[in-house]
Structure 1
Amino acid sequence: MAAAAMDTAGRIHEAVNVYHFTGGACAELVVLGAAAAAGAGPLVTIAAAGDQGRGLIPPCGRCGQALLDLHPDVFVAVPTGAGPTLRPIRKLLPDTYFFPDAAAHRIVRFHKRYYEAIATARKTSTVRYDDPIAPCPATFLFEDDDAHRTLNGTVTSVEHHRLDGLTAAQTRLDGGTSSDELKTGLQSHYPGLSSDAGVEIVTFTVEGGDPQSCREGAGRQLSGN
C-alpha cells in the first residue's frame, strides 16, 4: 500500500507501508507520520492505493478514526462506481466517537474568488450547509489558488437558521445582493437543498490564533451536538 497527502501549503507527502505477518501500520498512518515529520500543518486531501492492480482503496476504520481526530477537515479519495471522488472524512464515519483532546487545527474552505474580499475584510461571513465549523482559530484555504492558498483567521461565531427564514441582515449581505439571490445561489451550490433546511451563518476575522482553543468546540460540531 502507498499513500499520499497534501497539506495547506500545497506540499505532497508520500509514504508506503511495509507488510509483515506480525502486522504494522497502514499506509495512511505512515503518511501522517511523514507529513508530521516534515512539519506539515493540517492536511487537505489524502489517498491510498494498493499494489497488484488493487487501485484506490478507502481507509479502514482505524485509519478513518485517526484522520477524523487529527485532520477533521481532510477530504479522502475513495473509489465509486462512477470513478474516484473526494469525500469529507466525517462522511465516512458519520456517527463515530470524536476524541476531544486531539486539538486538531481546523480548515475552512473558500472559493479562490473570495481571497481579496476576505484578505481586505470586505467579506467577514459565509453561509454553510452540512459543513460543521466551530468558533476557533483556523486556516482559511482558497481552493485551486496557487498564488495565495491560505490566510490565518478565526471563526468568531456560528449561528443556526432555516434557509427560508434568512434575512439580508442575518447574512450580512451588501447592498448588491438580496436574500432571495443568496438562497437561490445556495440551492445551486448545494443540489437538493430544501427551503426548510438548516444552514449556518459563520462570521470570521483574518488574524492568528492558538489552535488548542478549539478542541472542545470542534468535537461538539463534528459530533452534531
Structure 2
Amino acid sequence: MVSMQLFDSERRVIEAAERLAATLGSDSNHTVAAAAMDTAGRIHEAVNVYHFTGGPCAELVVLGVAAAAGAGPLVTMATAGDRGRGLIPPCGRCRQVLLDLRPDVLVAVLTDDGPTLQPIRKLLPDAYFFPHADARRIVRFNKRYYEAVATARKTTTIRYDDPIALGPAIFLFEDEETHRTLNGTVIGVERDRLDRLTAEQARLDGFMSVEELNKGLQGHYPGLPADAEVDVVTFTVEAPDAGSDTQS
C-alpha cells in the first residue's frame, strides 16, 4: 500500500486523535481516541469505553458525539491508541458500522510509507451492506471545480474504482479552507471504457477535449490503463445559496 498525499485538513484529524490519545493511560477503561471531521470542517473527538460486555470502541463513540453536534456525514476519521501506540485501524465491527452509516468516510491507516487514507469500503471488501441504513452520501471533487459545478457548467464526473451511488448527495470540495459544499443529486452512473469516451462527455466534465480529459484523469489516477473501465457520473446541483451550508 503506497501512502498518498494528505490534505492539511486530513492531517488535523490524525493529529487530533493522536493528541487526545496522549492524554490517556491513567484509566484502563479509556485507552483509544478517535477524531472525525464533518463536511463543515469541524472535528469531533471521543474515547472508547472498555467493558467486558463489549463496551463501545472510540470510533462508535465519536459517531454519537458527532450526531449530537448535528454533524451529518463524516468525511475523515482517525483512531489512535494510548501509551504511544499511534494510529490503529478500526476493528471488524467498527468497519461494518462505518460502511453502513458513513459509507463515504476515509479512514486513516498507518503504512510503511506513513499515514494514508483508505475508503472504508476497501477496509471491508466483499462486505454485507445493511439495506436500511439510509446514509447521506458524499461525492468528492477537487476544489478547483467548485464554480463549474455550482454554475452547472460541469454536470459530469468520470470516476475509476470509486463507486458513486444514485440519489441525493453532499458535494464536498476537498482541501477547501472554507469547507464549501453543495447539495446535489446523482442522476446517472454508466460504465464505459476510457478509450471510448466522447468529446461531449469530456465537455460535460469541464474539459475542452478528450485528450485534455485523459490527461486530467491520469493526473488523478496515475497509471490508469487506456482501456480502463470508468464510471460516467451525471448529476444536478442546487443553487449554492440554497445548499452550500447544509450539513444534514
TM-score (norm 2): 0.80
- Tell me the alpha carbon deviations over residues 179-224 of structure 1, each in whole angstroms, 9 at most, x when there is no partner: 122112212210121111110111111129xxxxxxxxxxxxxxxx
**Which 5+ residue runs of structure 2 have no aligned equivalent?**
1-31, 240-248
| CA–CA separation in structure 2 for the residues paired with 1:174 and 1:132 | 17
| CA–CA separation in structure 1 for the residues paired with 2:123 and 2:207 | 39
| CA–CA separation in structure 2 for the residues paired with 1:2 and 1:174 | 40
Taking a change above 3 Å as real, the CA distance of residues 176 and 15 of structure 1, as seen in their structure-2 partners, is closer
Displacement after TM superposition at 1:54 (Å): 1.0
Contact 2:153-2:204 within 8 A present in 1 as well? no
Structure 2 residue 85 is matched with structure 1 residue 61: no
| CA–CA separation in structure 2 for the residues paired with 1:105 and 1:123 | 22
Structure 2 residue 118 is matched with structure 1 residue 87: yes
Structure 2 residue 127 is matched with structure 1 residue 96: yes
Q: How does 1:142-161 map to 2 (within 5 A)?
A: 142-161=173-192
What residue in structure 2 maps to residue 36 of structure 1?
Answer: 67
Taking a change above 3 Å as real, the CA distance of residues 196 and 176 of structure 1, as seen in their structure-2 partners, is closer
What residue in structure 2 maps to residue 141 of structure 1?
Answer: 172
Structure 2 counterpart of 1:203, one-letter code: T
Taking only the aligned residue pairs, the percentage that are identical comes to 77
Contact 2:203-2:209 within 8 A present in 1 as well? no
| CA–CA separation in structure 2 for the residues paired with 1:176 and 1:102 | 36
Count of aligned pairs between the two proteins = 208
Taking a change above 3 Å as real, the CA distance of residues 17 and 207 of structure 1, as seen in their structure-2 partners, is same
| CA–CA separation in structure 2 for the residues paired with 1:13 and 1:22 | 25
Name the SS for the 1:79 alignment partner.
strand
Displacement after TM superposition at 1:173 (Å): 4.2
| CA–CA separation in structure 2 for the residues paired with 1:111 and 1:158 | 19
**Which 5+ residue runs of structure 1 have no aligned equivalent?**
209-225
Name the SS for the 2:113 alignment partner.
coil
What residue in structure 1 maps to residue 246 of structure 2?
Answer: none
| CA–CA separation in structure 1 for the residues paired with 2:75 and 2:34 | 14
Contact 2:153-2:206 within 8 A present in 1 as well? no
| CA–CA separation in structure 1 for the residues paired with 2:221 and 2:51 | 45
Choose the corresponding residue for 2:210, options 179, 197, 220.
179
RMSD: 1.6
Choose the corresponding residue for 1:18, options 17, 37, 49.
49
Structure 1 counterpart of 2:227, one-letter code: D
Contact 1:173-1:179 within 8 A present in 2 as well? no
| CA–CA separation in structure 2 for the residues paired with 1:64 and 1:182 | 34
Contact 1:171-1:201 within 8 A present in 2 as well? no
| CA–CA separation in structure 1 for the residues paired with 2:218 and 2:163 | 18
Name the SS for the 2:231 alignment partner.
strand
| CA–CA separation in structure 1 for the residues paired with 2:127 and 2:116 | 22
Taking a change above 3 Å as real, the CA distance of residues 149 and 7 of structure 1, as seen in their structure-2 partners, is same
Structure 2 residue 142 is matched with structure 1 residue 114: no
Q: How does 1:124-135 map to 2 (within 5 A)?
A: 124-135=155-166
Moved over 4 A (4+): 173-176
Taking a change above 3 Å as real, the CA distance of residues 177 and 171 of structure 1, as seen in their structure-2 partners, is closer
Contact 2:39-2:179 within 8 A present in 1 as well? no
Q: Judge which range, 19-28 or 120-129, deviates more.
A: 19-28
